[in-house]
């Protein structure tokens, strides 16, 4: 099983960790709010499915709500494994970032 | 919108697996709610469709392939798609033909709908009527005016309970408008009753509908005008001057849909209207027929009821001698644009164009179906083996039919998609090059049945095109198909011959039509108008200003180098003349004649000869009060045998009790567009009616000349905007609609010719493939290319001849009808159809040569070695 994370997968996993429990449409809203960039619902769903396959998120059917015309939604929640992977990724990135020479003006 | 559209429900249900359906639906509903606030229904529907189709990209949510829809999808679409990919050339030929055809049909249908849906956007449009003044049905004259007197509207509302409301429009001719330090000439100015907003659906973008027309110094601007004057600033409260009277902007109109016959640029409250100085009438004058009056009825059926009562109404308000000379007719709002009550103030369309458009559109669409059938038959004949194998493996007749139809429907939809994608750029191009403005989104938002209709039509075209090959292929016996006997058979050839002949008929007919239309338009452009229209510049000056400085201006302009003559007239030769009843002592009763005002020296400068007598002269002081010149037509209408007889006779203008003596008869010249015959014209000499300065210029650098004239103008009238036109290009505008029509028709003809050639190419390719062996044998026996060509081409030539004979009478009939729109028209000659036929013949010959060369080059040994 592939435990690597794509950029979009990682972003959505982080949103899931932030929200504890959430679902497709809300993720789309949060994504837009955070990144100022809109994303289509189908794209989110496919990423969620992939994450679920990799074992980073769990899902269950939630209760119907009126704004969904009385239809239920699939609620997603990140697993401890998802949390660890995301955290490891952040750590590794911070480590690498630290190695960039400080006060290097040529990049500014 | 608070429920998912049913087509979305259907897609979800049929495509997605049961486990995810609820999820997907829930998502869609939420998406819909999120969009509801700031999007139109159509936009939401489209968005939902995209999202739903987006879900399709991910296979995990698809219905398992056990479901019936997927079964048929796999078994029909997959092979169809594969076959399209396999034979790319025919698919491309077909696809291009279909795309062109669909694009054109889409555009034509949009244009037709636009023309037919004028003014329907008003929510009460079926209850709004314009009161018109009809003298045609009473036989008194041929006038049917769109206007009535000012008291009619209010009186109707007071007298009849059926009339719920009324609104009057009084059109103001072009006026100078001053904003800050800039001045402009503007038209589309109206005095309008404040009931405007309760009758029509015009709305204000800014300002208050209730109070905007309360004060007599208020003015409402159209969105366009507000932008022009104030840019992005708010126009409200700004001051503008119209004809030196100050007004305060109290409102800005929302731009109405383009399908409106009324498009006011400036609206001034009706109560601010004052009778212009010198008019012998008052606002209580029932006979002052100059006010567009619209009434809103309680119910649309009240119209007939009211028609019956209006005779009584006339009896109450008019003197006894006027009763019976005219009638009031309530013209439905939706009929005004295409109606035959002429008015120069509002937009109007023509039924002729609509008929011509729909006929060509229909012909084009049938041509495409024919062509499509032709090529798909050719294509299918090469696939008899495939059908044989399918049949041997147990495919039934209906399965073969479904397969072939599916292929053709699939191609039709691909082409439809392409033409939809091309639609907006094509419309922009059309608007830019021909001046046809069609707003796709606007039309779609009023007619949402369009898309389903189109899809049905595409389905129909696909089925019709695929039906014939599907049926003939399904009939083939498996054994025969596999034994390759059929590939050289003559299957479907007869149908194809008929179809090709039909194509020729359509093409020759359209070609003849476009030749005639072209000839008619150039005839009108080149026709001698009775005066020299080239190198004439016309300067417009508002009447009162000109009255003071006419002689000064004339003198100053004449001193400019390369100006060879200056004269002053009262119009721009565009037919904007009034008409009055005129009578001479020798006439039984008065006849309506057109009126024009000119200054002395006018006819000499314009190059119009006097047939008898003299023109107005400064040295005869009585001219301005009691002299009149008539044109030849008028002289004959008055009953004089020669123009000389008319000289010195007195005439009376009955309504305004003016009498004058005829001092001259001028040769007939066209003072209005060539759509009308030269009417009787009486020319008078009061300086109050003059407003156009004609300047005859010699060939020179026009730019410097215009600069000189403008410098001169700024000295004489520093306050007024400079408005100079060149008469020749101005007159071209009168034929703008005809030119647009001609251009479109020519474009359509070109395209039909191309499509017909594509079809012909397909047919020739089939015949040559079938005749490969015959040709090879002939070659072996010594035939050269020429013999071969004659052999191949003879049947086509005969068919083109037949088509020519068949189409000529019909085209002759239709073209004669079209030409009857023009007073001055060309004759249709018999060789016209011969020319059209020859053009088609030559193109057909080219297509044949192209293909037969290919066959001719094949080495006979190669094709004959099998036998």
Using a CB–CB cutoff of 8 Å, tell me whether A42 touches chain B: yes
**8 Å CB contact of A24 and B27:** yes
Please say whether the beta carbons of B669 and B603 come within 8 A: no
- Closest alpha carbon within chain B to A42: B55
pLDDT digit of tens for each residue in chain A (108 aa)? 445 778 888 888 888 888 878 888 888 888 888 888 888 888 888 888 888 888 888 888 777 777 676 777 788 888 888 888 888 888 888 888 888 876 655 554
**B650 pLDDT above the threshold of 50:** yes
pLDDT band per the 50, 70, 90 thresholds, residue B128: very high
Closest CA to B112 of B341, B433, B441, B359: B359
Q: Which residues contact B394 (CB under 8 A, 6 or more apart)?
A: none
What's the confidence (pLDDT) of residue B258? 83
Taking each helix axis as running N to C, give the angle between helix B450-475 and helix B397-433, from 0 to 180 degrees, rounded to the nearest 10.
140
CA of A15, closest CA in chain B: separation in Å?
A: 18
For residue B79, the SS3 value is: helix
- Closest alpha carbon within chain B to A69: B29
Q: What is the pLDDT of residues B79-118, one digit of tens each?
A: 777 777 777 777 787 788 888 888 888 888 888 888 888 8
* Integer Cα distance of B494 and B500 in angstroms: 10
B188 backbone φψ class: left, alpha, beta (φ>0; ψ -120 to 50) = left
CB-CB: which of B3, B29, B54 is closest to A71?
Answer: B29
CB-CB: which of A24, A40, A71 is closest to B22?
Answer: A71
The mean pLDDT value for B183-193 works out to: 88
Taking each helix axis as running N to C, give the angle between helix B736-770 and helix B88-116, from 0 to 180 degrees, rounded to the nearest 10.
160
Q: Which of B194-203, B359-368, B432-441 has the lowest mean pLDDT?
A: B432-441
Residues in chain A: 108
For residue B163, the SS3 value is: strand
Mutate to test the interface with B, among A42, A47, A70, A73 (most CBs of B within 10 A): A42
* Integer Cα distance of B282 and B791 in angstroms: 84
pLDDT band per the 50, 70, 90 thresholds, residue B267: very high
Q: What is the pLDDT of residues B319-344, one digit of tens each?
A: 877 787 888 989 999 888 888 776 65
**B796 pLDDT above the threshold of 60:** yes
* Integer Cα distance of B314 and B286 in angstroms: 10
Residues in chain B: 867
- Closest alpha carbon within chain A to B27: A25
What's the confidence (pLDDT) of residue B487? 47
* Integer Cα distance of B317 and B320 in angstroms: 9
CB atoms within 10 A of CB B311: 12
**8 Å CB contact of B58 and A45:** yes
What's the confidence (pLDDT) of residue B286? 84
What's the confidence (pLDDT) of residue B269? 93
**8 Å CB contact of A49 and B58:** yes
Q: What is the pLDDT of residues B395-408, one digit of tens each?
A: 788 878 888 888 88
Instruction: Give the residue with greater pLDDT, B531 vs B350.
Output: B531
Q: Which residues contact B510 (CB under 8 A, 6 or more apart)?
A: B360, B363, B745, B748, B749, B752
Quote the radius of gyration of chain B (alpha carbons, Å).
35
**8 Å CB contact of A71 and B57:** no
Q: Average pLDDT of chain B? A: 82
* Integer Cα distance of B258 and B119 in angstroms: 9
DSSP class per residue in B682-694: EEE--GGG--EEE
Residues of chain B contacting A69 with CB distance shorter than 8 Å: 3-4, 25-26, 29
**B701 pLDDT above the threshold of 60:** yes
What's the per-residue H, E or C state across B124-154?
Answer: CHHHEEEEEEECCCCCCCCCEECCECCCHHH
CA of A40, closest CA in chain B: separation in Å?
A: 7
**B263 pLDDT above the threshold of 50:** yes
What's the confidence (pLDDT) of residue B169? 92
DSSP class per residue in B375-412: HHHHHHHTTHHHHHHHHHTT--HHHHHHHHHHHHHHHH
* Integer Cα distance of B240 and B228 in angstroms: 13
What's the confidence (pLDDT) of residue B780? 83
Most confident segment among B469-478, B790-799, B858-867: B790-799
Please say whether the beta carbons of B8 and B14 come within 8 A: no
| Contacts within 8 Å (CB) and 24+ apart, B234-242 | B234/B206, B235/B206, B236/B206, B236/B207, B238/B179, B240/B177, B240/B178, B240/B179, B241/B177, B241/B178, B241/B179, B242/B175, B242/B176, B242/B177, B242/B178, B242/B186, B242/B189, B242/B266, B242/B268
What's the confidence (pLDDT) of residue A104? 57
ipTM of the modeled complex: 0.74
- Closest alpha carbon within chain A to B3: A69
Please say whether the beta carbons of B373 and B364 come within 8 A: no
**B250 pLDDT above the threshold of 90:** yes
Using a CB–CB cutoff of 8 Å, tell me whether A50 touches chain B: no
Mutate to test the interface with A, among B30, B33, B50, B56 (most CBs of A within 10 A): B30
**B64 pLDDT above the threshold of 60:** no
CA of B3, closest CA in chain A: separation in Å?
A: 8
**8 Å CB contact of A69 and B27:** no
- Closest alpha carbon within chain A to B30: A68
* Integer Cα distance of B736 and B338 in angstroms: 18
The mean pLDDT value for B27-33 works out to: 79
**B189 pLDDT above the threshold of 80:** yes
Interface size A-B, in CB pairs within 8 Å, comes to 56
pLDDT band per the 50, 70, 90 thresholds, residue B489: very low
B607 backbone φψ class: left, alpha, beta (φ>0; ψ -120 to 50) = left
pLDDT over 70 for what percent of chain B?
A: 91
* Integer Cα distance of B376 and B98 in angstroms: 12
Residues of chain A contacting B58 with CB distance shorter than 8 Å: 42, 45-46, 49
What's the confidence (pLDDT) of residue B167? 94
Q: What is the pLDDT of residues B576-604, one digit of tens each?
A: 776 677 777 777 777 778 888 888 888 88
pLDDT band per the 50, 70, 90 thresholds, residue B372: confident
**B569 pLDDT above the threshold of 70:** yes
Instruction: Give the residue with greater pLDDT, B510 vs B435.
Output: B510
What's the confidence (pLDDT) of residue B66? 52
**8 Å CB contact of A25 and B34:** yes
Using a CB–CB cutoff of 8 Å, tell me whether A53 touches chain B: no
**8 Å CB contact of B58 and A68:** no
The mean pLDDT value for B679-696 works out to: 81
**8 Å CB contact of A25 and B55:** no
Q: What is the pLDDT of residues B432-469, one digit of tens each?
A: 777 677 888 888 877 878 888 888 888 888 888 777 77
What's the confidence (pLDDT) of residue A69? 67
* Integer Cα distance of B404 and B291 in angstroms: 64
The mean pLDDT value for B288-315 works out to: 88
Phi first, then psi: give them for residue B825, nearest 5 degrees.
-140, 165
Please say whether the beta carbons of B362 and B509 come within 8 A: no
């Amino acid at each position: 099983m592939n435990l690597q994370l794509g950029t979009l997968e990682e972003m959505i996993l982080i949103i899931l960790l932030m929200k504890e429990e959430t679902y497709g449409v809300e993720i789309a809203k949060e994504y837009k709010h955070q990144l100022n960039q809109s994303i289509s619902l189908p794209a989110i769903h496919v990423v969620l499915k992939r994450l679920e396959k990799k074992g980073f998120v769990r899902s269950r059917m939630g209760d119907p709500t009126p704004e969904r015309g009385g239809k239920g939604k699939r609620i997603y929640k990140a697993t401890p494994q998802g949390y660890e992977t995301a955290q490891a990724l952040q750590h590794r990135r911070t480590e690498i970032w630290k190695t960039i020479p400080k006060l290097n003006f040529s990049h500014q | 919108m608070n429920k998912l559209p049913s087509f979305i429900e259907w897609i979800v249900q049929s495509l997605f697996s049961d486990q995810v359906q609820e999820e997907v639906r829930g998502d869609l509903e939420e998406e819909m709610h999120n969009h509801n606030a700031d999007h139109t229904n159509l936009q939401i529907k489209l968005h939902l469709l995209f999202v739903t189709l987006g879900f399709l990209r991910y296979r995990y949510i698809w219905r398992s392939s056990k479901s019936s829809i997927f079964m048929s999808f796999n078994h029909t679409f997959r092979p169809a798609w594969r076959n399209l990919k396999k034979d790319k050339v025919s698919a491309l030929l077909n696809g291009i033909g279909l795309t062109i055809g669909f694009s054109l049909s889409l555009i034509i249908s949009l244009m037709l709908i636009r023309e037919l849906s004028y003014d329907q956007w008003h929510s009460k449009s079926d209850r709004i009527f314009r009161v018109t003044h009809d003298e045609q049905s009473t036989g008194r004259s041929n006038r049917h005016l769109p206007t009535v007197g000012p008291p009619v509207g209010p009186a109707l509302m007071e007298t009849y309970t059926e009339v719920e409301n009324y609104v009057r429009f009084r059109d103001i001719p072009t006026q100078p408008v001053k904003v800050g330090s800039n001045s402009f000439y503007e038209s589309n100015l109206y005095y309008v009753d404040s009931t405007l907003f309760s009758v029509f659906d015009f709305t204000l973008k800014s300002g208050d509908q209730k109070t905007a027309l309360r004060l007599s110094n208020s003015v409402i601007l159209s969105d366009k005008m507000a932008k022009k004057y104030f840019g992005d600033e708010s126009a409200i409260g700004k001051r503008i001057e119209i004809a030196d009277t100050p007004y305060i902007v109290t409102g800005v109109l929302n731009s109405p849909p383009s399908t409106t016959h009324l498009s006011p640029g400036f609206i001034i409250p009706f109560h601010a209207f004052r009778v212009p100085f010198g008019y012998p009438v008052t606002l209580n004058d029932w006979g002052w027929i100059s006010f567009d009056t619209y009434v809103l009825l309680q119910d649309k059926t009240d119209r007939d009821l009211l028609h019956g009562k209006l005779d009584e109404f006339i009896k109450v308000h008019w003197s006894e001698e006027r009763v019976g000379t005219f009638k009031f007719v309530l013209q439905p709002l939706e009929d005004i644009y295409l109606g035959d009550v002429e008015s120069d103030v509002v937009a109007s369309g023509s039924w002729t164009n609509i008929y011509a458009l729909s006929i060509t559109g229909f012909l084009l669409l049938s041509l495409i179906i024919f062509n499509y059938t032709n090529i798909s038959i050719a294509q299918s004949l090469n696939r008899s083996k495939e059908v044989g194998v399918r049949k041997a493996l147990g495919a039934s007749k209906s399965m073969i039919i479904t397969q072939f139809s599916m292929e053709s429907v699939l191609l039709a939809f691909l082409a439809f998609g392409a033409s939809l994608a091309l639609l907006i750029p094509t419309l922009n191009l059309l608007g830019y090059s021909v001046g046809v403005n069609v707003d796709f989104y606007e039309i779609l938002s009023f007619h949402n049945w369009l898309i389903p209709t189109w899809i049905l039509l595409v389905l129909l075209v696909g089925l019709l095109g695929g039906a014939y090959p599907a049926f003939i292929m399904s009939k083939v016996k498996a054994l025969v198909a596999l034994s390759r006997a059929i590939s050289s058979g003559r299957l479907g050839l007869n149908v194809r011959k008929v179809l090709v002949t039909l194509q020729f008929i359509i093409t020759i007919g359209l070609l003849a039509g476009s030749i005639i239309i072209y000839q008619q338009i150039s005839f009108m452009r080149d026709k001698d108008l009775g005066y020299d229209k080239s190198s004439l510049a016309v300067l417009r000056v508002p009447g009162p200003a000109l009255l003071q400085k006419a002689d000064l201006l004339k003198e100053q302009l004449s001193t400019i180098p390369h100006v060879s003559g200056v004269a002053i007239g009262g119009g721009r030769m565009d037919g904007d003349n009034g008409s009055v009843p005129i009578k001479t002592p020798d006439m039984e009763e008065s006849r309506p004649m057109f009126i024009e005002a000119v200054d002395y020296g006018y006819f000499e400068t314009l190059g119009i000869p006097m047939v008898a007598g003299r023109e107005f002269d400064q040295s005869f002081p009585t001219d301005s009060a009691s002299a009149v010149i008539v044109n030849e037509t008028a002289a004959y209408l008055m009953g004089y045998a020669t123009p000389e007889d008319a000289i010195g006779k007195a005439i009376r203008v009955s309504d305004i009790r003016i009498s004058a003596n005829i001092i001259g008869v001028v040769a007939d010249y066209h003072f209005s567009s060539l759509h009308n015959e030269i009417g009787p014209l009486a020319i008078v000499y009061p300086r109050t009616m003059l407003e156009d300065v004609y300047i005859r210029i010699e060939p020179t650098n026009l730019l410097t000349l215009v600069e000189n004239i403008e410098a001169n103008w700024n000295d004489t009238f520093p306050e007024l905007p400079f408005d100079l036109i060149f008469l020749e290009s101005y007159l071209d505008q009168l034929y703008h609609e005809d030119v647009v029509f001609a251009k479109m028709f020519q474009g359509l003809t070109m395209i039909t010719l191309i499509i017909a050639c594509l079809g012909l190419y397909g047919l020739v390719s089939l015949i040559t493939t079938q005749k490969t062996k015959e040709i090879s044998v002939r070659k072996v026996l010594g035939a050269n290319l020429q013999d071969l060509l004659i052999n191949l081409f003879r049947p086509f030539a005969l068919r083109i001849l037949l088509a020519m004979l068949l189409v000529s009478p019909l085209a002759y009939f239709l073209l004669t009808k079209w030409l009857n729109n023009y007073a001055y028209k060309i004759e249709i000659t018999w060789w016209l159809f011969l020319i059209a036929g020859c053009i088609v013949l030559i193109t057909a010959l080219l297509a044949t040569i192209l293909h037969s060369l290919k066959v001719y080059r094949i080495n006979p040994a190669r094709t004959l070695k099998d036998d």
